[in-house]
């Protein structure tokens, strides 16, 4: 089966600019996640969708970050305006459902550098 697709793989922007990342999960996976992985740290959950509804966005900095999954399939994560501390790899993952035992499959990630 095709994996989780993400684009772009790399993005360099200046602070206060905006950026958007796109994710297409594995076909049939109802649950989609966005994680932020800062260099040297473990991934941190930003937002979790179940179909097109938000399950958890408690760690999403909502003053600058937004995400949507309008048709319950692919998703977009936006940062506006970007700050230096947003430099990280943004990982998208999907799973069949939000059951605890279900495995998350990750995409290759989108590496953001904010100058």
Partner 1 sequence: GDSVTQMEGPVTLSEEAFLTINCTYTATGYPSLFWYVQYPGEGLQLLLKATKADDKGSNKGFEATYRKETTSFHLEKGSVQVSDSAVYFCALRGGGADGLTFGKGTHLIIQP
Among 2, 63, 71, 103, binds partner 1 (CB under 8 A): 103
53 makes contact with partner 1 (CB under 8 A)? no
* Residue 99 to residue 113: CA distance in whole angstroms: 34
Owner of token pair 């970050």? 65
Query: Counting contacts by CB under 8 A, is residue 22 touching partner 1?
Result: no
User: For strand 110-114 and strand 10-13, is the pairing parallel, antiparallel, or unpaired?
Assistant: parallel
CB neighbour list of residue 20: distance below 8 Å, 6 or more residues apart: 76, 77, 78, 79
The answer to whether residue 43 forms part of the interface with partner 1 (CB under 8 A) is yes
According to the binding rule CB under 8 A, does residue 9 interact with partner 1? Answer: no
Does residue 100 bind partner 1 (CB under 8 A)? yes
Min separation Cβ 69 and partner 1, Å: 14
């Amino acid at each position: 089966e095709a994996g989780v697709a993400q684009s772009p793989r790399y993005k360099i922007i200046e602070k206060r600019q905006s950026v958007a990342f796109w994710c297409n999960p594995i076909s049939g996976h109802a649950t989609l996640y966005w994680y932020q992985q800062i260099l040297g740290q473990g991934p941190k959950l930003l937002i979790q969708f179940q179909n097109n509804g938000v399950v958890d966005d408690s760690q999403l900095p909502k003053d600058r970050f937004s995400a949507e999954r309008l048709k319950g399939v692919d998703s977009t994560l936006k940062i506006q305006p970007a700050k230096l501390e947003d430099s990280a790899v943004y990982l998208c993952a999907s799973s069949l459902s939000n059951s605890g035992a279900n495995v998350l499959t990750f995409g290759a990630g989108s590496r953001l550098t904010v100058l």
